[in-house]
Amino acid sequence: MLEALGVSRRYGWRWALRDLSLSVSPGETIALLGKNGSGKTTLLKTFAGLLRPTEGAVRVNGEPISREAKGRIGLLSHDPMLYAGLTIRENLGYFARLFSVESGEIPARVDLLAETLGIVERLDEPVRVLSQGLRQRAALARALLHEPEVVLLDEPFAGLDPEASGRLENVVRALCEGRERIVAFTTHDLSKAFDMAGRIVVLAGGRLAYEENAENSSEEAVLAAFDESSGGSA
């Protein structure tokens, strides 16, 4: 269970999130939609424990985010968070130890992930020389290394060619099928959101503008929520 309870977050002097409450149960996949600057990324980072809410609280399984809890969360951020000077394998080895994956298990997990993501041949190339698509896949491997219960993906399909995008999509789809897993992803692609997510959430001006199951929702309703005014200033 992943919950945001009345979360506000100030970034600089701007409120990036305003009194936002949202809860996601295990097995659920949600798509976060909204214009640029609507607070999608801030919300994901807050869920990941990377940002502390200015007000309100974020809870994982009923408990506030602790250091231990971060071990159950995997974040694919906008930034790949990989060392450009190291190879994918070295990067993954480093992060596996940070996430306290048993050292005996690391090679097997790296190989398995590399295979699913189609980066086996590139494992020993430095991240610096990789294309955007490969970097994104390597970054996803980093986020999934410790088999997180909560997977947070920030625009996983942005700027990818169809091949890379398709492969990533399959992996994310497989993740969503996990019965106990929570997946939350942000995207600008409405059709992908409807296709993959069980629930559509729209943010506007840092507030929750729209929340509906994918089956009962329509593109028109979502688009209307995009432009919803952020309400009176607080």
Partner 1 sequence: MRRFFSVLSAVVEKDLRLEWRTKESLLIMVVFALLVLTLFSFAFGPGGGSGESARAVQAGILWISFLFACVIGLSRTMGVEREDAGFSAMYASPADPSALYLGKVVSVVVLMGIMELVGFAVLAVLYQADVWKSAGTLALIAICATIGIAAAGTLFSAMSARTRTREVLLPVLMFPVLVPVLIAAVKATQAHLGGDGWADSRDWIRLMLVYDVIFLVAASVVFEYILEE
Partner 2 sequence: MDRNERGAFGWLPVLALCVLAFAIFADFFIAGTDRLQGPPQRIFYIHVPSAWVAFFAFFLWFIFSIKYLDTINPEHDIRAHACAEAGVVFCTLVLITGPIWARPVWGVWWTWDARLTTTLILWMIYVGYLMLRAYMTEPGQRARFAAVMGIIGFLNVPIVHMSVEWWRTLHPKPVVMRSGGLGDLPDSMHVALWSTLLAFMLLFWCFARKRAQIERLNARVEEARAAREGT
Of these partners, partner 2, partner 1, none, which one is at the site of residue 81 (CB under 5 to 8 Å by kind)? partner 1
Residue 66 touches partner 2, criterion: CB under 8 A = no
- Classified as helix, coil or strand, 148 is coil
- The residue (of 85 and 166) whose beta carbon lies closer to partner 1 is 85
- C-alpha angle with apex 151: 36 to 14, nearest 5 degrees? 30
Please report whether residue 178 would count as binding partner 1 according to CB under 8 A. no
**Would you say 64 or 231 has its CB closer to partner 1?**
64
15 binds partner 2 (CB under 8 A): yes
13 binds partner 2 (CB under 8 A): yes
**Residue among 28 and 90 whose Cβ is closer to partner 1:** 90
Nearer to partner 1, 87 or 217 (CB): 87
- Check residue 36 for interaction with partner 2 (CB under 8 A): no
Cβ-based neighbour number of residue 102 at 10 Å? 9
Q: With contacts defined by CB under 8 A, how many residues of the chain interact with partner 1?
A: 32
94 binds, among partner 1, partner 2, none (CB under 5 to 8 A by kind): partner 1
**Contacting partner 2 (CB under 8 A), which of 10, 35, 72, 188?**
10
Q: Which pairs from 93-96 meet CB under 8 Å and 24+ separation?
A: 95/142, 95/145, 96/145, 96/146
7: β partners: 20
Binding window for partner 2 (CB under 8 A); candidates: 9-17, 21-29, 158-166, 191-199: 9-17
The partner residues of 203 in beta bridges, in order of sequence, read 208
Show contacts with partner 1 in window 61-100 (CB under 8 A): 67-71, 73, 75, 77, 79-86, 90, 93-95, 97-100
Please report, in angstroms and rounded to a whole number, the separation of the first and last CA atoms in the chain.
29
- Closest approach, Cβ 52 to partner 1, in A, equals 7
Count CB neighbours of 6 within 10 A.
Answer: 12
Structure tokens at 88: 């994918």
Distance in angstroms (rounded) separating the CA atoms of residues 122 and 219? 39
Using CB under 8 A as the binding rule, whether residue 14 contacts partner 2 is answered as yes
Torsion angles phi and psi, residue 71, rounded to 5: -70, -15
Q: How far is CA 146 from CA 125, 150, 193, 201, in A?
A: 22, 11, 25, 27
Q: Which residues bind partner 2 (CB under 8 A)?
A: 10-15, 52, 54, 205, 229-230, 233-234
